[in-house]
Each structure stands twice: as C-alpha cells, then as structure tokens.
Amino acid sequence: MTVTPEKTICVFCGSSFGKNASFTKAATELGNLLASKKYGLVYGGGTTGLMGIIAKTVASQDGYVHGIIPDALVTKERSDSVDEINKKIQTDVENHKGETPLDDSYGKTTIVTDMHTRKKMMGMEANGGFVAMPGGFGTLEEIMEVTTWSQLGIHKKPVVLFNVDGFYDEFIKFLDSAVEAGFISKNNSSILAVANTAEEVVEKLDNYVVPEGRFNLTWKNN
C-alpha cells in the first residue's frame, strides 16, 4: 500500500542515464532517502534514465510517486510503447480523467497536453520543494523557472541543485559571475541551494531559509 506522503518533492532530472555511474547511484540514494522519510515524489513521468531510477526506487518502497508527462513525450521518455499504454487504459475516453496506470512500478502517471501544464502541475504538487539532478536543457530550464518563480514571489519553497560529482560546477561559476556582473543580487543567489550528496539534499530541503530581498509581488491564481 502506498504511504500518504508527509510532503512531496519535485525532482527534475534527465531521461538519460549519463556517462557517469555516480549519477545513477545518486538517483537511487535520493530515492531511498525520500522513501525512508515518507516524502512523496512528483517528477516528469519518464521511465528511462535518471527519471526511471528515482521513480522506481521510491515506488518500490510503497512511496508516493506521481509522474506527469505530455502526450508527445510518452514515446521519448517512457520505455513502454504507445500501443502498450493504450492496452493498459481500462476506462473509455469520456470517463478517463488523465491518470493511467501505465506501469505501476513507477507510481501513477498523468498524461497532459503540453509542457506548460506539466510544469504547472508539478509545481503545484511540490509542497516540499524542488530538486535538480544532472540532466540536459529540460532539467536546466525547469530548475531555473522555479528559481525565477521564487525570486518573483510566486512561491517560498526550497530549491536545491544536486551537484553530483561536480556536474553543476561550471553552472555555479556562471551564477557567481552573474552576481559579480550585477545581474543577480547576492541575496537572490541564495534562492538556489547547492548540495553535493543525497543527504545534503534532504538537509537543504528540511532546513531551507527563504532569502530576503525577493520581489514582493502579488500573484493571482497560482
């Protein structure tokens, strides 16, 4: 039986494994920690690469996992084919509410129409914060968007960069350069916390302090 999560963490990561075995190891370690603390996982819905590793790790321990994936990416980021998925959908189109079993070993899956809906749903469910593991353009774009959301006062949730084996070292240097150049304030640079191990990720999530100096804007319908 799936445990009702104390809080749910959104993890952004690659649909590939990467060339370093430490990436897979880190995804497994983080998944184990989230499950042990009864934290839920919301993620991009893929079953390949690091996405699949962390989802399956949490789900295998009866942890809560919710994958959200656009229809167009199903064949790209899932190991099961469209035909297999269609066979698993037991309800008719009119009664179907978007959630399909797909593969129970990866938790539940919601198929949406576009990337914007995917990110909005992930952001709304992630009451415990956001984590970026190694990944490509999509991962970087996702973690930067939620960081910007915090800067704009849309949310106050933790945002953590999981710097596995120095994967994000050059990116962190770029952010430091942006601070030096006057494009990011020193206070706002603290929105994005950096962790080097799975244990540090959880510690940063649990003890996150919202930095001062963010924009105090009023947003509706967020």
Q: Which domains are present in the chain?
A: 8-206 (3.40.50.450)
In the predicted model, what is the mean pLDDT of residues 109-138? 94
Pick from 93-102, 176-185, 189-198: least confident: 93-102
Is the separation of the CB atoms in 176 and 182 below 8 Å? Answer: no
Higher pLDDT, 113 or 204: 204
User: What share of the chain in percent tops pLDDT 90?
Assistant: 68
pLDDT at 185 over 90: yes
> What pLDDT is stored for residue 122 in this prediction?
96
Structure tokens at 14: 């690659």
- Residue ranges in 37-166 assigned as alpha helix (H): 49-59, 74-77, 82-88, 115-125, 137-151
Dist. CA 5–CA 25, nearest whole Å: 23
pTM: 0.85
pLDDT at 57 over 80: yes
Q: Residue 32's pLDDT band (boundaries 50, 70, 90)?
A: very high
Q: What are phi and psi of 45, to 5 degrees?
A: 85, 0
* CA neighbor of 192 nearest in space, from 153, 143, 152: 143
Is the separation of the CB atoms in 201 and 162 below 8 Å? Answer: yes
> What pLDDT is stored for residue 25 in this prediction?
97
**67 bridge partner residues:** 43, 109
Dist. CA 13–CA 138, nearest whole Å: 8
> What pLDDT is stored for residue 78 in this prediction?
53
Q: Residue 221's pLDDT band (boundaries 50, 70, 90)?
A: low
> What pLDDT is stored for residue 100 in this prediction?
38
> What pLDDT is stored for residue 130 in this prediction?
98
In the predicted model, what is the mean pLDDT of residues 118-147? 96
